[in-house]
Amino acid sequence: MYALLSVSDKTGVLELARRLHQRGVKLLSTGGTARLLAEAGLPVTEVASHTGFPEMLDGRVKTLHPKVHGGLLARRDLPEHMQAIEQHGIPPIDWLVVNLYPFEATVARPGCTLEQAIENIDIGGPAMVRSAAKNWQGVSVLTDASQYESVLAEFESTGQVSQATRFALSVAAFNRVAQYDAAISNHLSALSFERREAPPQAWPQQFNLSLVKVQDLRYGENPHQHAAFYRDPQPAPGSLPTARQLQGKELSYNNIADADAAWECVLAFDTCACVIVKHANPCGVALGVDPEGAYRAAFATDPTSAFGGIIAFNREVDEAAARAVAGQFVEVLIAPSYTAQALQLLAAKANVRVLAIELPAAGATGAAQGKGTPRLDAKRVNSGWLLQSADEQLLDESALKVVTRRAPTDAEMADLHFAWKVAKFTKSNAIVFAAGGRTIGVGAGQMSRVDSTRIATIKAANAGLQVAGSVVASDAFFPFRDGVDVLAQAGARAVIHPGGSMRDAEVIAAADEHGLAMVLTGMRHFRH
């Protein structure tokens, strides 16, 4: 029995080879992998010695040989195949351990040249992987270090690798080759001959999506729709697909969509914060000295909408916060971590889905960018896709312009910054009233901005909150003065919005009439 090992990522390969050798498997290898095994004292045959043909062309040709592919492709159940390889002195290769040249990591590096990209396109590796995966009934093909332990354990326990395991390994191998080819296609089709040494254009002529299924879902947005949850091949640290579910029922399609909205929103704040989302919109957001205080202030914004909502914290949930949350009906609770006392208390609410997500690295915007994977937003249209870069733009302090006679106070400016962050995660047209580091009223998803403004004031009144003295954020400019009139009549004292309307002068004049402070950002945050 032979195993051929040729890996770029050497993680775990030495232990794998040692345990295969202990079970009587003969080792074949190439280049750096062969040197690693030999230096560890393992008996290993170089592929060049095995084939009788030297590596050449700077290593471009080494495994593309009948003695390799014949050993991988020969069907063990066909006598004529076995006779053919015996006639030509080709031993069967029963194990293939290959991971590919690091193309994705190479092109993700700033300044990567076309030559560097081309030299990191693996040829022999994918060819061997495809041969082994095609002949899965006779060959175990391992393409990732995460597979080693479980397959070894099965082999050591039973003396063989089951057909079910070999088939699963084959599927994983074809998936890996598909991901690899998609990355090559995406990178090269973003270049032109004239700009082949320049940074790639933003969007390739062909865009290949490669996704990994996380789980099947009971249904989609509605019970008559089928659905599943997929993730990027390398999910960004701190993103929802990296969550660990600690308790509760299976997540639904709507749970996942709303949980992502809540988590991304709470990550926008550096200080302790709580976000409550209902139907993809924040219905309550607040800062606090501790999670309990932040939660109670967020909940008070709109207790009616918070019923059955998604709650996210950017700090560890302690017993006090868990006790407060347990007092309402909540679908999903998200935090970086939980104290033992908090988890014990939440266990009494068995249906609550409790998720733990590690915070992204300090300084990251939203969920940190995945390795070699730009953050994208996607929207499906009939027979097409709309793709865009993620909205990670931060407020540029130097670009802020006070355009009214009255400037905001320091406290108002702090609340304007807070409200602006919340508005970014609120469906357009978005209006957010805030005061003291908490939302007072939120108007979202209306066809008219003035209607969103009115709804926000109604929400505040329904919750018994005082709008007078608050500030307002609008995700886009006010096209007419009527929205400013409504928020001023409600008692707001300052407003922040992008500006850029042909009626800006009229809107600013309205703010001056009401004694409002108005700040323009020069950027908008539409969210559809």
Instruction: Judge if 350 and 406 occupy the same domain.
Output: no
* Number of structural domains the chain divides into: 3
Helix axes 163-188, 148-158, angle to 10 degrees: 160
Residue 244: is its pLDDT beyond 90? yes
CATH number, domain of 456, equals 3.40.140.20
pLDDT band at 198 (very low <50, low <70, confident <90, very high): low
Q: What percent of the chain has pLDDT over 70?
A: 96
30: its two tokens: 């190439």
Q: Looking at the predicted structure, is the pLDDT value of residue 305 above 50?
A: yes
505 and 403 assigned to the same domain: yes
Tell me, yes or no, whether 426 and 285 share the same domain.
no
How many CA atoms, within 13 angstroms, populate the side-chain half-sphere of residue 336? 16
* Number of residues that make up the chain: 528
Query: Does the residue 53 lie in any domain?
Result: yes
C-alpha dihedral, 346 to 348 to 352 to 354, nearest 10°:
30
Whole-angstrom distance, CA of residue 34 vs CA of residue 4: 10
Catalytic residue among 21, 81, 134, 349: 134
- Identify whether 500 is part of a domain: yes
Question: What pLDDT digit, counting tens, does each position of 146-190 carry?
Answer: 999 999 999 999 999 999 999 999 999 999 999 999 989 988 888
Q: Which of 305, 330, 356 is the last residue of a domain?
A: 356
134 is catalytic: yes
Phi, psi of 463 (to 5 degrees): -90, 0
Does residue 26 lie in a domain region? yes
Span 352-406, pLDDT tens digits:
999 999 998 875 544 444 444 567 888 888 889 888 888 888 888 888 999 999 9
pLDDT at 89 over 50: yes
Q: Are residues 100 and 243 in the same domain?
A: no
Give the C-alpha distances (Å, rounded to integers) separating 262 from 239, 309, 389, 440, 483: 11, 10, 20, 18, 27
Quick count: other Cβ atoms within 10 Å of Cβ 67?
19
Residue 219 lies in a domain: no
Encoded tokens for 31:
């280049």
What is the domain range of residue 270?
238-356
Q: Which amino acid is at 247?
A: Q
Burial of 384 (0-12, 13-18, 19+ CB in 10 A): exposed
**Within 144-268, where are the H helices?**
148-158, 163-188, 253-266
| Last residue in a domain, options 356, 389, 412 | 356
DSSP classification of residue 119:
H
**Over 90: is that where the pLDDT of 338 sits?**
yes
Residues 288 and 404 in one domain: no
**Per-residue pLDDT averaged across 296-318, rounded?**
96
Average pLDDT over residues 267-281: 96
User: How do residues 454-503 score in pLDDT, each as one tens digit?
Assistant: 999 999 999 999 999 999 999 999 999 999 999 999 999 999 999 999 99
Backbone angles phi, psi at 145, to 5 degrees: -60, -25
CA-based nearest residue to 380, from 523, 279, 230, 525:
230
Q: Report yes or no: 122 and 151 within 8 Å, Cβ to Cβ.
A: no
* 103-112, 266-275, 306-315: least confidently modelled range: 103-112
Phi-psi region of 46 (alpha: psi -120 to 50; beta: other; left: phi over 0): beta
Secondary structure element (H or E) that encloses residue 136, with its range? none
**Selected catalytic residue, list 21, 81, 249, 279:** 279
Provide the β-strand partners of residue 520. Answer: 401, 497
For 348-416, the three-class secondary structure string (H helix, E strand, C coil) is CCCCCEEEECCCCCCCCCCCCCECCECCEEEEEECCEEEEEECCCCCCCHHHCEECCCECCCHHHHHHH
Higher pLDDT, 389 or 266: 266
Q: What is the average pLDDT value for the chain, to the nearest integer? A: 91
Same domain, 303 and 250: yes
Residues 352 and 267 occupy one common structural domain: yes
pLDDT of residue 200: 64
The number of angstroms, rounded, from the C-alpha of 303 to the middle of its chain's C-alpha atoms is 30
The last residue of one of the domains, among 188, 210, 230, is 188
> Is 48 inside a domain boundary?
yes
Residue 297: pLDDT over 60? yes
Q: Which two tokens stand for residue 347?
A: 């266990």
> Which DSSP helix (H) or strand (E) runs through 231?
strand 227-231
Residues 287 and 177 in one domain: no
The question of whether 514 is a catalytic residue gets the answer no
Judgement on whether residues 75 and 23 belong to the same structural domain of the protein: yes
Q: Distance (Å, rounded) from C-alpha 226 to C-alpha 114?
A: 42
Cα(391)–Cα(430) distance, integer angstroms: 16
Same domain, 252 and 315: yes
pLDDT at position 388 is 86
The arithmetic mean of pLDDT across residues 303-324, rounded, is 96
Confirm whether 156 is domain-assigned: yes
Domain co-membership, 284 together with 412: no
- Answer whether residue 216 is part of any domain: no
Q: Which CATH number does the domain housing residue 82 bear?
A: 3.40.50.1380
Are residues 79 and 159 located together in one domain of the fold? yes
User: What pLDDT, in 10s, does the model give residues 43-82?
Assistant: 999 888 888 777 777 777 777 888 899 999 999 888 989 8
Asked whether residue 46 is domain-assigned, the answer is: yes
